[in-house]
Structure 1
Amino acid sequence: MNVVAIVQARMDSRRLPGKVLELIENKPLLWHIVTRLKACRNINRIIVATSSDKSDDAIADFCHNHGIPYFRGSKDNVLDRYYQAAQRERADVIVRITGDSPLIDAQWTDATIKYYLDKRDSIDYVTNAHPPTLPDGLDTEVFSFGTLERTWRAATTQYQKEHVTPFIVEHNEFRKNSIKNSTDLSHMRWCVDEPQDIQFVRAVYKELYNGGSLFTMQSVLDLLQRKPELEKINNTIGRNDGLKKSLEEEQVDKTKFSAYFKKGLKENERMYIRQVTERDATEEYVAWLNDKEVSKYLESRFQQHTMESVKKYITASSDDKKTLFFAVIAKDKEKHIGNVKIVIDEHHNNATLGIMLGDKNYWGKGYGSEAIALASEYVFEEKGLHKIHAYVAAINKSSAKAFEKAGFAHEATMKQNVLIDGIYYDTFIYGFVNPEERFPIITKSNELWERAIKILPGGTQTASKAPNQFVNRIYPKYIQRGNGSHVWDVDGNEYIDYPSSLGVNILGHAYPRVVEAIEHQAREGTIFSLMHPLEVEVAEILTKEIPCAEKIRFVKNGSDATSAAVRIARAYTNREKIAACGYHGWQDWYVISTEKKKGIPKVLEQYTLRFEYNNIDSLKKIFTDNQNQIAAVILEATVNQEPKNNFLEQVKALAKEHGAVLIFDEIVTGFRFGLGGAQKYFNVIPDLACFGKCIANGLPLSLVCGKKEIMDECDNIFLSLTYGGEAISLAAALATLHEIKEKNVVEHIWHVGKKFKESYNKITQELGIQSESIGYPPRQNIIFKEEKGFTPNELYTLFLQETIARGILIGNVVVFTYSHSEQDVEKTLDACKSALQYIRDGIDKGDLRKRIKGDIKGEVFRQKQDEKKA
């Protein structure tokens, strides 16, 4: 097995030209690399690979004069240079070393090679560099000649050719692995790419070389422990800046190479965290702990700290296997600014987190929440914990805010629990569940769905209930039962319900008075061959409450009602065309005007004409273009928009002027705006109206009602249903109507709806998120606007994902019932706030798409019709 180490070297470095021949203790940098590699037991041969360009003649001369084997090849295609060199040397295994590594450690290089050789039958590539846990400058990559050849043949881009191994990193067909140091040292910079780097390396060699000593990595660490000022020479420079610039030039997604640039255990743009070591025990650290303002809320605030006590504490924490102690490093000055401590409870698979931000220059700038988030991410990923807790004094509002921003939710309060300045204060308990575990278990839901799609077209009876309307793979698919404002899925997960059965619930699930009425009627019979008295009783109540309702005809669903109204209007006017605005169900007359018109005769297109809400000119044009042909104007009095400039009054006047019947579709607004519907609320009375959804609190019942002379056309058309007078739904309707009349149902749903809407919009404003809850309080839509390249659908998908994880079922609409309590709304707002903070963080960090664990939700057919232009 021929193991060949290939050291790539060139003279025209962008940032430090000629660096490979810079002198360190009177020897060229390249000489030190080769000499240190000679100590490796697992390398058979070392060669230098440089270019055939004239600029690299000096490297060739140096190698020739010192008896170092070398190869000259392509200047810019370093991958080809490696391939040709390896082919010439008949290498079986290639060890890649870059020419900026004068502190390369033979022990670590040997360990990387050995790992590869031991597993070569099951691995193509191994490295000690990504994810990095060693100082930058000890990088070793090991791969077979076959892997190099596959890469050489397949690589196409300049950055793949210049940096040799990115193609391997990008493509999962290669079997890859890495070896890691037990202590993360990736924040250290020991390579040479900038003037400060050569200064640092010379300082290290001056202390340790002693005329030829092959000092180890540990020797350098010990030196930096004694002389921490050396590390400050170059520690503000980023890792792998050369590759980063190449990726930026070719506009390559850097997320695939995030491990190359990593500093510490976890990092973001402003900071990183690493393990605390004894060298962090500085005078400044001691001063933090003795500063009354810094230590005010710390457990150690009653002690006087010294350098000795701090070192002892760090050592004890490091030795404790149940404790993770992180230093928070600000990148702007490469400065230690605070610590995060996590104590693990292995028995319960959770942990407790505490933070101290010692440097007051970084207070109030978001560093605390970011450090909490980084530490949390690390322990979730590396330790697989289920949950992290935090205890925060209620008076410590800045810390409470930091934990909330990092994704923690307030779970409980311990009353008068902590003594601060002689006063007992409450303690808030915060919790954060592992993002990979916080979603509901939906095993039974998924099993049912697999059965459903084999026998049910589309898998569902209602488009709005399909998995693609939510976050498939995260959301439940089947609800087993409901009670009040809560529902339980088939896997037993409980949620606060806001779709409210697509708006049919106004009182709540299994509402006692309605259940009692249903049970009573079921015992007496459900449907009969003759009419039932309930038809008369329910109709009499409605004719007294709905302004336009002189006569009523009961049907079963919203589409029945709107189709009946259209047919009645056509019969009354002896005209055929309909002017429509918004959504009106699934029947042919309406759906022909949408994109879902397959299966409907094309000839029907001419009979339904669309106009825009709040755009009276769009309706005027229809009348102008279709003189004496419009049978009816049908629209919802409102959905999410308020009527502007007397829009409804103008619509009514136009319909009357042109002899058309005005139909209000109140399937959604009916009874949520009061028993008289939106027509009474806006004081605009139509000729006909359609009601449904919540009339029977979840049972199938709807109606068309209106002026006597128009409704009498029912005798001249065919409008008859077998289930038209079904008694159980009418019994439920009677109970529902009495409950609405006798209790403050409408006032309550408007009150809790208003509270939610105002609070939600306040949260989004505070977080600077382009989202709002729109519509009237009883029924609202949450909308998002595109932000930093993330689409509204992506943002809303993540919102749904994060709210379902917190026990809130929202879906496409937020519909309030009489059963929704103040506590329900408070819990929902807490969940929304946590979800929105998570979204804000994803937007700011640019990784929002990665946070979406399910499928992007599909478009809502109804919403598209509400927004459709004329």
Structure 2
Amino acid sequence: MNLNKEYQVKAHKFIPAGAHTYSRADDGYPTNAPSVLEKGTGAYVWDVDGKKYLDFGMALRAVTVGYDFERISNAAIEQIHKGNGLTRASKVEIDAAETICDLIPWVEMVKFAKNGSTVTSAAIKLARAYTGKKYVARCAQHPFFSYDDWFIGDTIMDSGIPEAYKQLTLQFNYNDIESVEKLFKDYPNEIAAIIMEPATTEEPKDKFLHKVKNLCEKNGTVFILDEMITGFRWHIQGACKYYDIEPDLVTFGKGMANGFSVAALGGKREIMELGGIYHDKERVFLISTTHGAEMCGLGAFIETIKVYKELDVVGQIWKSGKKLCDGMNKIANELGISEYFYTVGVPCSPNYITKDKEGKISLEFRTLFSQEMIKNGVLIPWIALSYVHQDTEIDIALKACRKSLEVYKKALEEGIDKYLVGRSIKPVFRKFN
């Protein structure tokens, strides 16, 4: 038994789903994917058997500069040697708070945490406390906001969530302002918050974000934008800056500390200060976690911002993304399969689309493409660009893409069963395994 298989067995023996994030579990990858990774450097990862892969997963999009980027790692280590977590607020957490408030004008106060679910749920709690209203409306097309009841109870994977919680979350459609207007009409003066991502692969059209904000202002609703993915990728100040929109509350995570566990809730002082101790209003138990302001992560965050500014990280991500997407689309066109495989979305955070012979979106063909890329040394469950994806890495990926799409074309012509090994990947949100 090789080490990959040995550790895969151990993973499922000791960890439900075999990983601490569903997006890292076996069922989201083809059967030839490395089961367990041991290390990452730059844009590359190695599995426990020592096999090297060019990585476009980048720790679920959390690494935007590069694995073990020396300056950032050293900044984290420096804080570890200062104690990493002290009895009262640490100097570095004050410095980190000042850094993000200085960087982003619409963040007047901030609370740090270790993961995105914590800060999005805190935003919902704040909105309810601030408005005194109970309903929350979330964008139906945006796949994930939190593992907490307010969101998970509104998905197909709602086991364990009391029915009462499920009734409190409403849905609207992205770029469909009439669907938002209808919610306010159907639930007058009852909606505490609207929450969505500024963009995914679909960008806002016809001033959609601004129209939603106007509706929120008219109806006394808190306007929340979740920049977990778009933040520090669309622009150093996030997609809010890119689309010229200022939310009431905003959440960040993933790339803000180059893979270190840092998330943030920020926004207007009048809302955020409800979680403080110097006001005469009813107290809100906002975020209070022992490790929420762990010093190593915040040291990494401060240094990450410096690296972003000095190296134009965002500019490089956009440049590499465009080169990769243009190249992949060109290869598909040359092979005559551009109707079945193509990239969509903004260059800094694109997605590849896989369709079957009938032109329908296909997880089987997505699995096949991923399977073939892995055979050619590239791990690409999705496309997450980082600063370290330079010309050399894009060229490697495009060479692998050509070989993989040649197989893809044969599968379209001869049937996928002849080329796909093992089961297809599965979506995270499903009722049963």
TM class by shorter-chain length?
Answer: over 0.9
Give the whole-Å Cα distance in 2 for the aligned partners of 1:681 and 1:653: 19
Q: 1:626 aligns with which of 175, 179, 187?
A: 187
Post-superposition shift, 1:615?
1.2
Post-superposition shift, 1:549?
0.4
Give the whole-Å Cα distance in 2 for the aligned partners of 1:705 and 1:454: 39
Structure 1 residue aligned with 2:297? 729
Structure 1 counterpart SS, 2:350: strand
Aligned: 1:801 with 2:371: yes
Q: 1:589 aligns with which of 150, 156, 160?
A: 150
Post-superposition shift, 1:791?
6.2
Give the whole-Å Cα distance in 1 for the aligned partners of 2:360 and 2:219: 47
Q: How does 1:61-72 map to 2 (within 5 A)?
A: none
Q: 1:597 to 1:790 in 2, by over 3 A?
A: closer
Q: How does 1:461-500 map to 2 (within 5 A)?
A: 461-472=20-31, 474-500=32-58
Aligned: 1:752 with 2:320: yes
Post-superposition shift, 1:785?
2.1
What stretches of structure 1 move > 3 A for 4+ residues in a row?
788-791
Give the whole-Å Cα distance in 1 for the aligned partners of 2:317 and 2:350: 12
Structure 2 residue aligned with 1:718? 285
Give the whole-Å Cα distance in 1 for the aligned partners of 2:181 and 2:415: 48
2:187 maps to amino acid: N
Aligned: 1:858 with 2:426: yes
Give the whole-Å Cα distance in 2 for the aligned partners of 1:448 and 1:799: 25
Structure 2 residue aligned with 1:551? 109
Q: Is the 8 A contact 1:633 1:661 kept in 2?
A: yes
Paired residue total: 419
Q: 2:390 aligns with which of 816, 821, 844?
A: 821
Post-superposition shift, 1:740?
0.7
Question: Which 10-residue stretch deviates more, 629-638 or 644-653?
Answer: 644-653
Q: Is the 8 A contact 1:548 1:706 kept in 2?
A: yes
Aligned: 1:843 with 2:401: no
Q: 2:8 aligns with which of 436, 440, 449?
A: 449
Structure 2 residue aligned with 1:659? 220
Structure 2 counterpart SS, 1:802: helix
Structure 1 residue aligned with 2:279? none
Q: 2:308 aligns with which of 740, 745, 762?
A: 740
Give the whole-Å Cα distance in 2 for the aligned partners of 1:788 and 1:639: 26
Structure 1 residue aligned with 2:344? 774
2:353 maps to amino acid: I
Give the whole-Å Cα distance in 2 for the aligned partners of 1:540 and 1:843: 54
Q: How does 1:307-706 map to 2 (within 5 A)?
A: 443-472=2-31, 474-581=32-139, 582=142, 583-706=144-267
TM-score, structure 2 as length reference: 0.94
Q: Is the 8 A contact 2:196 2:226 kept in 1?
A: yes
Give the whole-Å Cα distance in 1 for the aligned partners of 2:361 and 2:234: 33
Q: Is the 8 A contact 2:58 2:384 kept in 1?
A: yes
Q: Is the 8 A contact 2:113 2:289 kept in 1?
A: yes
Consecutive unaligned residues in structure 2, runs of 5 or more: 277-282
Q: Is the 8 A contact 1:547 1:680 kept in 2?
A: no
Structure with more of its chain in strand, by fraction:
1
CA RMSD of the aligned region, Å? 1.6
Q: How does 1:173-184 map to 2 (within 5 A)?
A: none
TM-score, structure 1 as length reference: 0.47
Post-superposition shift, 1:847?
3.2
Q: What whole-Å deviation, never above 9, does each CA across 1:697-737 have from its counterpart, x for those lacking one?
A: 11111110001111111132112111122111111111111
Structure 1 counterpart SS, 2:365: helix
Greater relative contact order: 1 or 2 (C-alpha under 8 angstroms, separation 6 or more)? Answer: 2
Post-superposition shift, 1:590?
0.9
Q: Is the 8 A contact 1:652 1:686 kept in 2?
A: yes
Give the whole-Å Cα distance in 2 for the aligned partners of 1:640 and 1:670: 14
Post-superposition shift, 1:649?
1.1
Give the whole-Å Cα distance in 2 for the aligned partners of 1:451 and 1:676: 41
Give the whole-Å Cα distance in 1 for the aligned partners of 2:324 and 2:386: 13
1:766 maps to amino acid: E
Q: What whole-Å deviation, never above 9, does each CA across 1:626-647 have from its counterpart, x for those lacking one?
A: 0000001000000110111111
Q: What is the percent sequence identity of the aligned residues? A: 38
Give the whole-Å Cα distance in 2 for the aligned partners of 1:791 and 1:759: 21
Structure 1 counterpart SS, 2:181: helix
2:249 maps to amino acid: L
Q: How does 1:161-240 map to 2 (within 5 A)?
A: none
